[in-house]
Amino acid sequence: MESGQRDKVPFEIEAVLGRIRQEVRGFADAAMFALAAQGHTTLFEQLVACILSIRTRDEVSLPTSLALLRRAHTPEAMSQLTPEEIEALIAQVTFPEPKARQIHALAKRTVEEFGGQLPADAEVLQSFRGVGPKCAHLALGVACGHEAISVDIHVHRVTNRWGYVRTRSPEQTLKALEARLPRAYWIEINRLLVPFGKHVCTGSRPQCSRCPVLAMCQQVGVLHPR
């Protein structure tokens, strides 16, 4: 049966995120935030990094992004590489061949259509192959400070376990969070819940015994906590 949902105290998102903020201080930052901390803060760089991160662990996507952007960090420079050269530089990520073509097309179109400057517009970003709402919103949040929620599997899983939202897909979670989550946390929630979901509120056997928000979490769907 589901882990205990009795004797829970009222859920307060400000308190929850405050406790998680302290909990994840010792963990590595999510890849795109870590990339920005190393100086790669442009929208183009962030979007390239997000494409590389799809279905790839941060431990692989971050060094791969750094290696690629050391070679070419602007749309102009990236467009001068061939898709084959890009693929060789990103060979460690999942699906390197299609991602190389997507990144090359992104760079080429940015130069030809937008004068080398990606517009800070989620709909425009999602018009590029390989870029969905998660990547568009996260890149805009990190690079431009735009208030946009990025929902990956960690954000989807954790917020549903809390009982804060009750949805079946990341897309539904995005809409539910946009309706409920205070805007002040729209960017930060991804930064907090990625490491929290990787190390504490894990996909299987979450570490509920050490969770700082256990008293407020409804533990929805949790069958075998640690």
Q: Three-class SS string for 73-133? A: CCHHHHHHCCHHHHHHHCCCCCCHHHHHHHHHHHHHHHHHHHCCCCCCCHHHHCCCCCCCH
Per-residue pLDDT tens listing for the chain (226 residues)? 344 456 799 999 999 999 999 999 999 998 999 999 999 999 999 999 999 999 999 999 999 999 999 999 999 999 999 999 999 999 999 999 999 999 999 999 999 999 999 999 999 999 999 999 999 999 999 999 999 899 999 999 999 999 999 999 999 999 999 999 999 999 999 999 999 999 999 999 999 999 999 999 999 999 999 9
The alpha carbon of 189 is separated from its chain's Cα centroid by a whole number of angstroms, namely 9
Fold of the 31-144 domain: Endonuclease III; domain 1 (1.10.340)
- Say what the pLDDT of residue 7 is: 79
Write the class of the CATH domain 13-28+149-216: mainly alpha
Q: What is the pLDDT of residue 6?
A: 60
Residue ranges, CATH 1.10.1670.10, the chain: 13-28+149-216
Is residue 153 within 8 A of residue 169, CB to CB? The reply is no
Q: Cβ(155)–Cβ(169) under 8 Å?
A: no
DSSP tally for the chain: helices H, then strands E: 12, 0
Q: What is the DSSP letter of 8?
A: P
Q: Where in the chain is the domain with CATH 1.10.340.30?
A: 31-144
CA–CA gap between residue 176 and residue 50 (Å, rounded): 23
